[in-house]
A and B are shown apart, each in its own frame.
Chain A
Amino acid sequence: MNAVIEVRALEKRYGRVLALNGLDLDVADGEVHGFLGPNGAGKSTTIRILLGLARATSGRATVFGRDPWTDAKDLHRRIGYVPGDVNLWPNISGGEAIDLISRLRGGAADKAAYAARKRRLVEAFQFDPTKKGRAYSKGNRQKVALIAAFVTRADLLILDEPTSGLDPLMESVFEQEIRRAAGEGTTVLLSSHILSEVEQLCDRVTIIRAGATAETGTLAELRHLTRTEVAFVSGGLTNAQLTSIPDAHDLLVDAGRARFSVDSDRLAPVLSALGALDVQGLTIAPPSLEELFLRHYGEQLDGAGAGAAPTGDASAPAVSPRHAEGANRR
């Protein structure tokens, strides 16, 4: 598979602020790639560089093998883009804005086919195209950019937190459209901090933090790094019994239930121990991306104190320093 986006050691400096600090990102042809990170991690900066709107301070970024800063115009023929914060022209209607963007991209040449696609999307997103730009709410402005991105077939869709402001119903329409585009062979870079969306849609995920890549891999690979949550009724069990459970992390008893987490690949001995204790009301929650995300996000919050090594795993995404982090978990 060819790389559609290839980013190596990307740095972007705004004055004294280092917005990107050695970011790596690979997006293969045809995949839906999740791009995760807390606010200010550098997601939008990366996307602006990929679109040729901003220039990298150092490092390399290519899209379809070309430099977006110098070849922006040609690349943009193949790219659909949804900004994180969509702003519209105050006196131009939503329908007009969609038409304008599509025409600029050359996607409205076949008028009948274009009109049919636009009509379908306008209905699917329940969008009123006749209001002036200034009259739309945030969610409706977002719909303008989404419809404009989906109405013209693109080889690459770059979406910067595209569902912010959408209600759950519209989020599911969005997911359908992403699947439809991916089915047609479109590569998608989906920046988000809505984890369920990424888990549902993405083949691979890159998590960034403080301008650098923290983790990257398929969902299965990343799940391997996360822990399964276990909980059961604590009544009738002594503390000694509870602490005898092997590999239990962060054990606590609260409101009559004992909870702990366990490395996903260490579940078997835990299960037999629980069976021996004959625990009641057992729930085992699957590992989620959210946990992985929170681990990085949480670390950033804690990073200032307790001698944690916040950047320790940035360069070694595959093997996490598990025990050092254990101290930091709540």
Chain B
Amino acid sequence: MSELAALLRQRIRRDRLQLFFWIGGTALLALFAATAVATTYGNAAERDQILALAIQSPAILILRGLPQGGGLDAFVFFEIFTYLALLAAMMSTFLAVRHTRAEEESGRAELIGSTPAGRTLPTVATLVHGVSANILIGLGVFAGLALGGMAVDGSLIAGVATTATGIVFLAIGMLAAQFMRTSRGANGLAVALVGLAFLLRGVGDALGTRTGPLSLASAWPSWLSPIGWAQHTAAYTENTLAPLLLSATLAVLCFVAVFVLQGVRDSGASLIPERRGRASAGATLSSSFGLAWRLQWGTILGWSVGGAAFGLLAGTLSSLVQQAAASDPSIQQSLQSIVGSAGSMTQTLVAAMFSFVGVLAAACATQAVIRMRQEEALGTAELVLSSPVSRVRWLVDYLVLGLVAIAIVLAASAGVAALSLAASGDGSVGAGDVFATAAAQLPAALIYLGVLSLLFVLVPKAMIAAGWAFVAVGVVVGNFGGLIGMPQWLRDVSPFTHTPVITGSTTDWSGAVWMAAIALVAVGASVVLMRRREVSTA
């Protein structure tokens, strides 16, 4: 018991700041959403209008949730709950891998495994730690919603559903850690499963059938997703915990599998074995750029697949929306008034989808620069920089890599969107408009490249955390700021707010020009400062 306590203390000590932000951030999101919806959409007629539109627009359903009538509390649940569940899921997978596979990969697990704690107790400690964190995040969601004026019983259900989702993905993350040899691989697998769960839930909601004037029952894909199960608690309306039995069952099955697998494998080994490498390097590994590409192409591919998925969504959903709008012209008017543009339905939909593609491109660029810092901290940068590669050249190579990464993500999503639009027979948005919309995302992504580069040169130790925080703030403020009622000056902080919206001939490109100029200055400054910067591993 004392060993378990020691392992738990170590986990809490290590995570205290990180979990504080995850849990606090999620609770605040719940609180803001509750209060903002109450002030912005206090009028029942307004809510009804939006829900009527949403039910006709699969895209909105995918990005929000399942409408359960026009009540204020149910409306808040519809708007925000899937994101609360998503945050709990992400927190849990990262937590699971951080304390299991990452520890094994680094060799620290061996140090612990040689003590009386043994091989299995650290996994038990991770389980207890993760469940505790999820209970806290559930309490946070409950408190946020209840303090925001929502009904107490429904808020409690929403909190429990958040906890259940988090615990399922804690189990999935720990299982992924059993299968993969590296923490990168395990995180990748687990996060992909979180994304799949969100998407299945979204598709299920989008294909749902009407059960009332302002409510839907989701189609079967939603029942394949732990986030879908949580959503089916229908807090504030039906208030049922029954769907969470599915979550509990899956979590228990995964946990059992984790301990069975843990019991039969060697410490540090994985179920999917590592392939042997080549004895000699291919042609790519001949320059520092080739090395950067080799290290980063898998990540770029991952973000590009994500971008292509959004492109596909934009293309396939447009025909559905067209049909809906043809049967009811008021839908088009409402959608235009929300997005604030005079473009066609499809244009508006494409613009909305590509605002997320822009985030993916920016995140991909962020990771390219972060990789440079990871190389420096690991000490492998020293191997390159002690060869005839100057510091500035090395920096520029990674910035070019970031630029290439952004271009690939945007091109992949634009290509897929244009193809699927053409296949759907929707002629209202041409391939040119799609690629222009994709190009409009470039300046915001360049801002990330430039600012991260400057952070790398000036504050290398803090840049990884600062980089991801910058992405998170950009997304929350830029893409969700309107939803949770942030003032305009705050929303202007996010680069994504200034991304041009391509709608016909009246596009305002001034934001793009400013952002490109700022990015260029930041890159120039970081190149100049890099001449004077030492290589520091610490």
Contacts and interface: CB of A to CB of B under 8 A. Distances in A.
Interface of A: 48, 51, 53-55, 72-74, 76-77, 79, 81, 83, 85-97, 99-101, 103-106, 115, 129-132, 134-135, 145
17 contacts: A54-B534, A54-B535, A76-B388, A81-B386, A83-B379, A92-B285, A93-B278, A96-B277, A96-B278, A96-B281, A96-B285, A103-B286, A105-B387, A115-B280, A129-B277, A130-B278, A145-B383
A55 B285 contact: no
Residue picked from B277, B380, B388, B534, most chain A C-beta under 10 Å: B277
Contacts of B534: 53-55
Interface string B378-397: 11101111111111010000
Nearest to A48: B535
Given A55-B534, A92-B295, A99-B280, 15 more contacts: A54-B535, A79-B386, A86-B379, A87-B380, A89-B380, A90-B182, A92-B277, A95-B279, A96-B277, A97-B281, A100-B286, A104-B388, A104-B389, A130-B277, A130-B278
Nearest to B274: A132
Nearest to A89: B380
B interface, size bucket: 35 or more
Given A85-B379, A87-B380, A89-B295, A131 B277 contact: yes
A103 B285 CA distance: 8
B105 A134 contact: yes
B330 interface: no
B346 interface: no
A189 B182 CA distance: 37
Contacts of A53: 382, 385-386, 534-535
B267 to A, nearest CB: 14
A131 B276 CA distance: 5
Given A92-B277, A93-B277, A51 B386 contact: yes
Contacts of B459: none
A73 B281 contact: no
Given A88-B380, A132-B274, A96 B286 contact: no
Nearest to A53: B535
Contacts of B278: 93, 95-96, 130
A135 B388 contact: no
Interface string B262-304: 0000000000001111111110011110110011000000000
| Chain B interface helix/strand/loop/mixed | loop
B309 to A, nearest CB: 25
Contacts, number: 108
A296 B290 CA distance: 47
Contacts of B390: 72-73
Nearest to A132: B277
Contacts of A48: 535
Nearest to A96: B281
B388 A73 contact: yes
Interface string B95-134: 0000000000100000000000000000000000000000
Nearest to A98: B281
A83 B277 contact: no
A130 B278 CA distance: 5
Contacts of B274: 132, 135
A92 B379 contact: no
Contacts of A91: 182, 295
Interface string B511-531: 000000000000000000000
A74 B387 CA distance: 9
Residue picked from A91, A115, A130, most chain B C-beta under 10 Å: A91
Interface string B455-470: 0000000000000000
Given A90-B182, A96-B285, A132-B274, A104 B384 contact: yes
Contact of A101 (B280, B378, B383): B383
A76 B386 contact: yes
Interface string B333-356: 000000000000000000000000
Given A53-B534, A76-B386, A88-B380, A100 B276 contact: no
Given A103-B285, A132-B274, A135-B274, A87 B387 contact: no
Contacts of B379: 83, 85-87
B279 A130 contact: yes
Nearest to A51: B386
Contact of A99 (B281, B387, B535): B281
B382 A83 contact: yes
A158 B383 CA distance: 13
